[in-house]
Structure 1
Amino acid sequence: MPSGYAVARRPVQWWLALVLMTFMQALQAQPAPKAAPAATTKTVLVMGDSLSAGYGLGPSEGWVPLTTAKITKEKPGWKVVNASISGETSAGGASRIGAQLQRLKPAVVVIELGANDGLRGLPLAQTRTNLEKMITASQTAGAKVLLLGMQMPPNLGRAYTEGFAGNFSALAKQYDTAFIPFFLQPIASDRANFQPDNLHPTAAVQPAIRDFVWPKLGPLLK
């Protein structure tokens, strides 16, 4: 091969090296792509008693886990935390709400408490004060509230049963919460819908309770 060929190639090689170096420097100078912002998951906090804790039911049978499954499917970006405790009174809920709000920072709080107050014949004013504390604490923390009302059997006397139901409606109106006057309305009239204790709904009717609550809960999930 003529020696002049190798000499003629050198300028081309140097030019290619210069172009490659300039290209690499330009790439290094480009700002790193920004990471996509992490999706924010909003929380629905359920504060209830055995009716929401799923007394006598399997882990996935209660109206709360059924609602959780519905939210997972239809409302991406939302989750449900069920902080319900069997036997809980409104006083118990009022004592726990602050820590739950601070820890979870929920966007929606569902309050399903008071039934155990009524069954024990606790003073109506006491129940109202406790529920009011839960509502105001939730709203002050920036959460929307769904209040699930309850009714007592007539054997407790007309004055007590009417006053008990009136607590819920008065608080819902005063604090402009989403509201269901009688949480168990769609299943309450049939004894067959309840477990042997005649207090807790069976697994078979939990979907009906979920579907009864959903028209009030769903619109809050925005």
Structure 2
Amino acid sequence: MKQFSSIFYIGGKFIVGSVLIMALLTRCGSNEEKTNDAAKQKREQLPATTNKAKAKTIVFFGNSLTAGYGVDPSEAFPALIQEKLDSLQLPYKVINAGLSGETTAGGKNRIDWILRQPVNIFVLELGGNDGLRGIPIAETSRNLQAIVTRVKEKYPEVRIILAGMQVPPNMGRNYATAFRVAFQQLAANNNLELIPFLLENVGGISALNQGDGIHPNPEGHKIVAENVWRVLKGLL
């Protein structure tokens, strides 16, 4: 670095030019370091933003069980699954597409609207209301098959989980057996992951259900979430 012998009179003091120049260079260097630090910090923040943008989507498509009828949305099992994913820092976003009172026919009619968003994992939880209404099992199976087919057509790489359901004994033994088997057959025919019975260890237990004896209370939803997680975790 060149030295200069010029002397400047600033603020009532004589300052050697080389000292003044060094001070200016130091200040410029300091400003440049701050700029570089800010740029570095911004670059370090980019991966988090990128990961968030690349988060995969899990859609829970069902009826009042999925919607969380009678409990706070944060207590419904899809929300509990989201908490589990977040705690494990897994890049998945849960979409709760549950609709109280939904039948398989209703689900077939609204599936295209749901599929307007990207889907990586699709959890199909429908059929319970069909069973309670005594709808012919063949009709329920056709509707569920139509939904599965449409999802696969829209997103060929999607993984589908079918939530198995059962009906109360008062629907008749033959109907109850055929209803349960219908979900097993649908899963086998379409290579779907199957939750044998979504309400396992919850259905029929008054302490885990609301007053209607059908919809889980917050404690019941915790168990339902575990039933789902046992199958879901293998797809993540």
Structure 1 length-normalised TM: 0.80
Q: Which amino acid aligns with 1:66?
A: L
Q: What is the CA-CA distance between 1:114 and the residue it aligns to?
A: 0.3
Alpha-carbon separation, structure 2, partners of 1:75 and 1:137: 31
**Residue aligning to 1:176:** 191
Name the counterpart of 1:192: 207
Task: Give the 3-state SS of the residue equivalent to 1:146 in structure 2.
Answer: strand
- Gaps in structure 1 of 5+ consecutive residues: 7-32
Q: CA deviation at 1:188?
A: 2.1
Work out whether residues 80 and 225 of structure 2, in 8 Å CA contact, stay in contact via their aligned partners in 1.
yes
Q: Which residue is equivalent to 2:131?
A: 118
Return the offset for 1:159.
1.6
Count of aligned pairs between the two proteins? 189
Q: Give the TM-score normalised by the residue count of structure 2.
A: 0.75
Secondary structure at 2:87's aligned position in 1?
helix
Indicate the residue corresponding to 2:50 in structure 1: 38
Which stretches of structure 1, 4 residues or longer, exceed 4 Å deviation after superposition?
Answer: none
Q: Structure 2: how far apart are the matches of 1:119 and 1:182?
A: 16
Identify the structure with bigger relative contact order (alpha carbons < 8 Å, sequence gap 6+): 1
Asked whether the 8 Å contact 1:108–1:145 carries over to 2, the reply is yes
Is 1:129 matched up with 2:162? no
Give the distance between the partners of 1:189 and 1:119, measured in 2 at CA.
14
Mapped partners of 1:119, 1:50: distance in 2: 13
Distance 1:217 1:134 in 2: 19
1:137 shift after superposition: 1.7
Measured after TM superposition, the shift of residue 53 of structure 1 is 0.5
Residue 161 of structure 1 is matched in structure 2 by 176
1:186–1:212 CA contact under 8 A, matched in 2: no
Structure 2 unaligned segments of length 5 or more: list them.
7-42
Percent identical: 39
In the alignment, which residue of structure 2 is the partner of 1:77? 91
Deviation, 1:189, is 4.3
Letter in 1 for 2:220: V
